[in-house]
Amino acid sequence: MKIQRLPIPFLLATLAASLSVKAQKEVSIGGLVSASSYTGDFNPGNVMSSPGVYVGGVIRYAATEYYSLRVGFGGGNLRGNPSAYERRLMSNLPLQKPASFNQRFFDADIRVEIGFAPYEPFGYDPKKFSFSPYFALGVGGAYSRGAPFLQLPIAVGAKYRIVYRFTLGAEWTFRKTFNDSLDGWENVQTSSARTSNNNDWISYIGVYLTYQLSDKGCCHELKKD
């Protein structure tokens, strides 16, 4: 499908752009904990219905004070419980009636973070470049129910330098997956109509903590005093 080939040139263009700017060569590593949820055939509207748990790692490369390239990876579980309405709607299916599920999954992605304010993860002045909301977009892959699939992460969040080198962040990530069977059902339909023909989504709401590996540039002003 054409839509599955689109992220590849996008990713290449993003990497080229990040290398063309005057990089600070700053890398941070850390971990995150989130509540995970699924949106699909049996949960079409409630983003945080029956939340599970997601735990992962973060590697961030700060190209400038506004732009970062970030790699994320982790695993968690997705849970769902079809509503009474959906059970009645699908009562005419020749298959067994929808049942609740608790499914594990693993994923990894690479994304570009665009900050709305200048940010530096090091520094002694708590008011200087210490907070920034951001938007992120990228591409990644995941594995669940014995099969890999493509996903496109879209995120909004904010990060704050709590102390020297340590950054605390909060983030809400939506992942558009090219998979319609995270809940065990694909293109569910009744005897009269199809209830859903869309791929499933995964959502995370959580926090992360990262540590700046390099102190390049952090102490210039201190040495001058």
Q: What are the φ and ψ backbone dihedral angles of 84, each rounded to 5 degrees?
A: -60, -35
The whole domain housing 201 covers 2-224
Q: Into how many domains does the chain fold?
A: 1
pLDDT at 97: 54
pLDDT at 71: 96
pLDDT at 91: 55
CATH number at residue 61: 2.40.160.20
pLDDT at 23: 43
pLDDT at 217: 46
Give 138-203 as a DSSP string.
EEEEEEETTEEEEEEEEEEEEEEEEETTEEEEEEEEEEEES-S-TTS-SS-B-SS-BS--S--EEE
Residue 152: count other Cβ atoms within 10 Å of its Cβ. Answer: 19
Regions in the chain scoring below 70 on pLDDT = 1-25, 82-99, 123-127, 185-198, 215-225
pLDDT at 7: 56
pLDDT at 81: 73
